[in-house]
């Protein structure tokens, strides 16, 4: 479906891919080795970019150019030192395929989506580290496309295109903004077989971001040094009214919505990380019934809600893509109990 859009970098030789696949370096050692080895640009293409040394501020935060910040746990993805082995790729393919078969047997359509790390999209604001030509997730996506029938997509090309017109991530938060999530929602819609969102119908409004935005400011303890970022709001489907039904003690774990005027008379269940929150603004207005669950706190108590799904989305950001194995294991248990 997206083959025609994939960038030429992803069509590296088989030899290059296999060399990287079999280079597995534990994350605990990767950072120690990489953080002190920032490189000066030497190629003609890089001469315009000044050397920017690697520096961390506070806890886990990389100081980027022009007041950008990044989370340091993305370094293995960025430098390509965490490549999965053939066995790891096959293990993920096996457990996701088994879950897909279980879902299909009860009429559930399953999809896997991976938002990129912020520095995958905005590498121009990173310190002068050598960025990998092909990442762990790109190898995994290609492996799944070639060896399985799974619907498994890395949301990369769409964001690289969209960043030409809008910011798609916050500068000092780890997450995508409304424009980034719009691209993510559109990829999901495309995978399901729905038409693209008509951008001409979206009305943008802005406001100063509130105190809950800017997790990197809190981790670096620098919130008072920076002014608020701009928060974007896109008025998606204002004609659709929705009501939220959420268990009081689980506002950040489980969110359920009813949108009687929505286009699709089905139940969508999305299990994912914090990137799922911005997707709610779109997908909850596409489906008459939608449920969004934080995978970190998913328990057997959520099994009955998950079983309602007509469409099941598994979402994990690039740096946590390996968590699909654990999520799938839980879902297999819930759907077969």
With helix as H, strand as E and coil as C, how does the chain read? Answer: CCHHHCCHHHCCCHHHHHHHHCCECCHHHHHHHHHCCCCCCCCHHHCCCCCCCCCEECCCEEECHHHCEEEHHHHHHHHCCECCCHHHHHHHHHHHHHHHHHHHHCCCEEEEEECCCHHHHCHHHCCCCCCCCCCHHHHHHHHHHHHCCCCEEECCHHHHHHCCCCCCECCCCCCECHHHHHHHHHHHHHHHCCCCCCHHHCCEEEEECCCCCCHHHHHHCCHHHCCCCEEEEECCCCCCCCEEECCCCCCCCEEEEECCCCCEEEEEEEEECCCHHHHHHHHHHHEEEEEEEEHHHCCHHHHHHHCCCCEEEEECCHHHHHHHHHHHHHHHHHHHC
Mean pLDDT of 62-90: 97
Rounded to 5°, the CA angle 95-287-141 comes to: 30
More confident residue, 2 or 136: 136
Contact (Cβ atoms closer than 8 angstroms) between residue 93 and residue 143: yes
Percent with pLDDT over 90 in the chain: 80
d(CA 284, CA 277) in angstroms, rounded, equals: 11
Average pLDDT over residues 203-216: 93
pLDDT at residue 25 is higher than 50: no
Look at residue 9 in the predicted model and tell me its pLDDT: 41
4-14 per-position pLDDT tens digit: 444 434 433 33
Taken as a whole, the chain contains a residue count of 337
Q: How far is 323 from 318, CA to CA, in rounded Å? A: 10
CA 72 to CA 138: how far, in whole Å? 20
Q: Show Cβ contacts of residue 27 under 8 Å, excluding neighbours closer than 6 positions.
A: 73, 76, 82
pLDDT at 303: 97
Compute the distance between CA of residue 144 and CA of residue 111 in angstroms, rounded to an integer.
Answer: 12
Q: Is the pLDDT of residue 170 over 60?
A: yes
Beta bridge partners of 232: 206
Classify residue 96 as exposed, middle or buried by CB count within 10 Å of its CB (0-12, 13-18, 19+). Answer: buried
Tokens matching residue 209 = 């971001």
Percent over 70 (pLDDT), the chain = 84
Model confidence, pTM: 0.85
Answer whether residue 75 shows pLDDT above 80: yes
Burial 80-95 (b: 16+ CB within 10 A, else e): bbbbbeeebbeebbeb
Mean pLDDT, range 246-269, rounded to an integer: 86
Please identify which residue in the block is written with the tokens 């989305």.
313
Average pLDDT over residues 235-253: 82
Residues 6+ apart with CB under 8 A from 207: 230, 231, 233
- Determine phi and psi for 207, rounding to 5 degrees: -160, 165
Domain boundaries, the chain: 3-336
Range with the poorest average pLDDT among 40-44, 100-104, 156-160: 40-44
Nearest to 281 by CA among 155, 197, 160: 197
Q: Residue 211: what pLDDT?
A: 85
């Amino acid at each position: 479906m997206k083959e025609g859009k994939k960038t030429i970098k992803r069509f590296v030789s088989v030899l290059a891919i296999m060399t990287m696949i079999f280079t597995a370096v534990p994350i605990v050692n990767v950072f120690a080795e990489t953080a002190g080895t920032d490189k000066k640009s030497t190629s003609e293409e890089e001469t315009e970019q000044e050397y920017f040394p690697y520096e961390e501020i506070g806890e886990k935060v990389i100081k980027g150019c022009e007041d950008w910040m990044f989370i340091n746990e993305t370094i293995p993805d960025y430098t390509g030192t965490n490549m999965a082995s053939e066995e790891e790729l096959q293990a993920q393919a096996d457990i996701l395929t088994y879950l897909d078969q279980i879902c299909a047997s009860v009429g559930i359509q399953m999809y896997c989506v991976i938002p990129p790390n912020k520095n995958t999209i905005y590498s121009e604001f990173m310190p002068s580290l050598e960025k990998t030509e092909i990442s762990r997730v790109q190898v995994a996506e290609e492996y799944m496309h070639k060896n399985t029938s799974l619907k498994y997509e890395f949301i990369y090309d769409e964001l690289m295109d969209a960043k030409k017109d809008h910011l798609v991530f916050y500068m000092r938060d780890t997450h995508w903004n409304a424009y980034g999530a719009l691209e993510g929602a559109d990829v999901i819609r495309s995978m399901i077989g729905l038409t693209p969102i008509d951008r001409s119908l979206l009305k943008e409004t802005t406001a100063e971001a509130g105190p809950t935005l800017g997790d990197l400011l809190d981790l670096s303890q620098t919130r008072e040094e920076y002014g608020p970022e701009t928060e974007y709001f896109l008025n998606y489907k204002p004609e659709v009214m929705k009501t939220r039904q959420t268990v009081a003690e689980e506002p950040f774990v489980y969110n359920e919505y009813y949108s009687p005027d929505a286009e699709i008379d089905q139940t969508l269940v999305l299990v994912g990380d914090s990137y799922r929150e911005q997707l709610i603004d779109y997908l909850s207005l596409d489906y008459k019934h939608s449920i969004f669950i934080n995978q970190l706190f998913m328990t057997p108590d959520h099994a009955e809600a998950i079983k309602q799904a007509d469409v099941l989305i598994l979402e994990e950001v690039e740096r946590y893509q390996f968590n699909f194995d654990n999520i799938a294991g839980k879902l297999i248990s819930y759907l077969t109990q």
